[in-house]
Amino acid sequence: MFKGSYVAIVTPFNDGDIDEKAFRKLIEFHIDSGTDGLVPCGCTGEAATLTIPEQKRLIKIAVEVCDKRIPVIAGTGSNSTREAIELTVHAKKAGCDGALIITPYYNKPTPGGQYKHYAEIAKNAEFPIMLYNVPSRTGISLSPSTVARLSKIENIVAIKEAAGSCQQVMDILSLSDIIVMSGDDSLTLPFMAMGSTGVVSVVANIVPEKVHNLTQSQFEGKYDEARRIHYETMDLCKAMFIETNPLPVKTALSMMGMVREEWRLPLCEMEKENKIKLRQMLERYKLI
């Protein structure tokens, strides 16, 4: 577990409600395409605009459809420790293999507060936890020393590192033996070269086989092949962030006929010029 290509799966909507049928189809698409693990209810899954009952429902569906064929690591984070505990305990009871928990956002806790937040969740959930460091979203960063301290808690076993820094990854791995997975598609290969075990990926929503093959090639020592896929998909990875994630990836999936082009406010349709660029990119990669 916590190895290879884990997809940060989108949440499809249909007239304002979760499109459960489309969500189930997406999961089967990933299993058929070699995706190594599923991460519902993360940032890419628009967790910030989902209600707690909706998050619980999506987690339950993911576990049901995956049926132990691939691991399910549910996004259960919140800036409220109490709410994060509720969601994480639910994920465990629902049969998830672990939980991805974002650093508390907006209230910007100190390193001491960060530690207490995660420690309290770990104590209440008692199953594998992956930390999630994404300062561009949360306004704060988990320092390598805080990560090392948290890694001493038995069930805090991994981190999704999305600070965009190779130095951050090196510092974490030099201070602890925690599992590191990339949170930036463009940095998957560099991070793996330093000891990361894979990626929690946005671009895998649309090219799951390529992301799986990149990580698998690196594991198998087929470095030229991993590097080839890295450069082949580089522009596509960049395109997924020409506007706020998940706008580009969900628009791409809509263009591919897999989900409706629908979000919840405050997210909205992409700017016309960027949408044209995205379509051209998908045509270039023969995805539409």
List residues with catalytic annotation: 132, 160
Distance CA 140, CA 127 (A): 25
Q: Are 129 and 103 in contact (CB under 8 A)?
A: no
Dihedrals phi, psi of 281, to nearest 5 degrees: -65, -40
Distance CA 40, CA 46 (A): 9
> Is 81 strand, coil or helix?
helix
> How many CB atoms lie under 10 A from the CB of residue 26?
24
Q: Which alpha helices (H) appear in 10-155, and where do they start and end?
A: 20-33, 52-66, 81-94, 111-125, 135-138, 144-150
Nearest to 96 by CA among 120, 114, 82, 75: 75
DSSP 216: H
Q: Are 12 and 19 in contact (CB under 8 A)?
A: yes
Cis omega before residue 246 (within 30°)? Answer: yes
Q: CB under 8 Å, gap of 24 or more: what pairs does 170-175 form?
A: 170/194, 171/144, 172/144, 172/147, 172/148, 174/144, 175/144, 175/145, 175/147, 175/148
